[in-house]
Amino acid sequence: MTEFPLKEIMSSGGAEDDIPQGERKTVTDFCYLLDKSKQLFNGLRDLPQYGQKQWQSYFGRTFDVYTKLWKFQQQHRQVLDNRYGLKRWQIGEIASKIGQLYYHYYLRTSETSYLNEAFSFYSAIRQRSYYSQVSKEDRPELVVKKLRYYARFIVVCLLLNKMDVVKDLVKELSDEIEDYTHRFNTEDQVEWNLVLQEVAAFIEADPVMVLNDDNTIVITSNRLAEAGAPLLEQGMIVGQLTLADALIIGNCNNQVKFSELTVDMFRMLQALEREPMNLASQMTKPGMQESADKPARRENPHKYLLYKPTFSQLYTFLAASFKELPANSVLLIYLSATGVFPTGRSDSEGPYDFGGVLTNSNRDIINGDAIHKRNQTHKEMHCLHPGDLYPFTRKPLFIIVDSSNSVAYKNFTNLFGQPLVCLLSPTTYPKALQGMFCADIPSSNLNCFLYS
């Protein structure tokens, strides 16, 4: 329900009978839209995270209600101020929810233009100081809303390579956290300080700057620009196979990350995307240009971003991608994960005898970058072995293994004769690169090329 009972709100502005019927209806309609929007937004977490069709109609309804709510509060601001007691932080909360919708729609569709829409709403909150009065209220939960807004805004700016804005936001977030911990003796002080440390390390992990002739900084991007598409080599035919789906998996120990995005995942996901376009020229209604019956053609391959998934989670998403892979399409699996090595020698050399890469478990991590199975008579169960991927070679598959045990996939067998590529990272750093890109393990070996 809304934060204030309707009757109490109206009574606070004077006798209820003195309130014009039109204004009473305005407050009632606003409360209905606000409650409906919260109900739909909370329902988003119940949607399946995998699959490309089940969620679209629900997202469309949620966008529709939030669009109505946003326009309604703009058109009736004076009445809502006087009769409802609408506060600026409540307006900011609505805008923040819309920004979150656009960001999650980007995650679901891989359409980078939705990042621009999320940025627009988040930026408006900051420019209009919607959360500025929160610090004057003795309610720590409101301050946490503001801190979470900053964290989400930083993620969007990182994905859009707006590093100048990121640095300003980090400074503001640091000040807000300092004020928050000073005013309220809360238990989450350590967690918020960890957020600051993570984002600072994330920014430092991409230190390369390009300067123009006039010494101004140029922001580089790993995304594909319209004018930057490489030309086809002579004899190549367009359209034989298309990259349609990708699983980007990050499960390295001690790797720099922010939110649930490691540096490796961050770089690779951008390498699979085109630069954002102006969304206004592509759609007429937020969230409605793709219907459940006839989805629009996506310029970018659909992606799942999995941070430290368990084996069952990884296999579930992999099976969903495999099931929905269109004809003449390729599934890409990017594994940036700690190596799992076998102990002792095996009499056989099968797809489960060389170890693989780590999947998440609740066990303690042993030896930092390498996990060894404790019982030599059994295979490591919290591991993605090469043999685990064999069933999915029934369709075209592109596997990238970025791991200290990438050699486990060296003899990957093509059982079904479908197109198969296995790209493996080196297991040691070239001497020329040691100390340049790989200090303190900011990222894995293979994607160091994305610096250039």
Structure token pair of residue 74: 């703009």
**What pLDDT is recorded for position 347?**
66
Token reading at 10 = 């109206």
Average of per-residue pLDDT across 156-169? 93
C-alpha–C-alpha distance, residues 199 and 187, integer Å: 21
- Residue 407: give the domain boundaries: 209-276+299-342+350-361+379-447
3 state DSSP class of 249 = strand
Distance, CA of 129 to CA of 335 (rounded, Å): 41
Q: Is the pLDDT of residue 445 over 80?
A: no
- Residue 286: is its pLDDT beyond 60? no
Asked, for residue 282, whether it belongs to a domain, the answer is: no
Does 71 share its domain with 32?
yes
* Residue-wise pLDDT tens digits, 187-220: 888 899 999 999 999 988 865 555 566 666 555 6
Give the per-residue pLDDT at 327.
Answer: 92
Domain boundary among 206, 233, 249: 206
Mark whether 193 and 306 lie in a shared domain. no
Q: How confident is the model at residue 102 (pLDDT cuts 50, 70, 90)?
A: very high
Same domain for 99 and 237, yes or no, is no
444 band by pLDDT with thresholds 50, 70 and 90: low
Q: What is the pLDDT of residue 54?
A: 73
Q: How far apart are CA 224 and CA 246, in angstroms?
A: 16
Alpha-carbon span 402 to 399, nearest angstrom: 10
Residue 364 pLDDT level (bands cut at 50, 70, 90): very low
Q: Do residues 194 and 263 both lie within one domain?
A: no
Tokens 């992999």 belong to 318
Q: Would you say residue 355 has pLDDT above 80?
A: yes
Mean pLDDT, residues 371-381 taken together: 64
pLDDT band at 128 (very low <50, low <70, confident <90, very high): very high
With a pLDDT cut of 70, the percent of the chain lying above it is 77
Tell me the pLDDT tens digit for each residue of 225-242: 766 667 777 777 776 889
Query: Does 120 reside within a domain?
Result: yes
Task: Find the Cα–Cα–Cα–Cα dihedral 140, 143, 145, 151, rounded to 10°.
Answer: -130
pLDDT band at 81 (very low <50, low <70, confident <90, very high): very high
Helices (H) and strands (E) in the chain, counts: 11, 13
- Range in 57-66, 118-127, 241-250, 294-303 the model is least confident about: 294-303
Identify the pLDDT of residue 450.
54
Task: Report the alpha-carbon distance of residue 160 to residue 221 in Å, rounded.
Answer: 9
Nearest CA to 114 out of 131, 132, 100, 96 is that of 100
Per-residue confidence band for 289, with pLDDT thresholds at 50, 70 and 90: very low
Percentage of residues in the chain having pLDDT higher than 90: 52
Is residue 105 domain-shared with residue 55, that is, in the same domain?
yes
pLDDT in tens, 334-352: 999 999 998 766 667 788 8
- Rounded to whole angstroms, the Cα distance separating 90 from 92 reads 5
Give the pLDDT confidence score for residue 283 in this predicted structure.
39
The length of the chain is: 452
Helix%, strand%, coil% for the chain, nearest 5: 45, 15, 40
Does any domain span residue 116? yes
Q: What is the DSSP letter of 291?
A: -
Q: Residue 449 — very low, low, confident or very high, per pLDDT cuts 50/70/90?
A: low
For 170-190, write each residue's pLDDT tens digit: 999 999 999 998 888 788 888
Q: Do residue 98 and residue 214 come from a single domain?
A: no
Give the count of domains, the chain. Answer: 2
Q: What is the pLDDT of residue 275?
A: 82
Q: Check residue 439 and give its pLDDT.
A: 41
Mean predicted lDDT score pLDDT of the chain = 82
372 — pLDDT class (breaks 50, 70, 90)? very low
Give residue 98's pLDDT. Answer: 97
Pair 267, 320 in one domain: yes
Residues 304 and 404 in one domain: yes
- The verdict on 199 and 213 lying in the same domain is no
**Same domain? 213 vs 124:** no
Q: Domain check: are 120 and 228 in the same one?
A: no
- The answer to whether residue 395 scores a pLDDT higher than 60 is yes
**Would you say residue 373 lies in a domain?**
no
Alpha carbon distances (Å) from 210 to 140, 180, 217, 226, 408: 42, 37, 6, 21, 37
309 or 292: which leads in pLDDT:
309
Neighbours of 197 (CB within 10 A): 10
Q: Quick one: pLDDT at residue 284?
A: 37
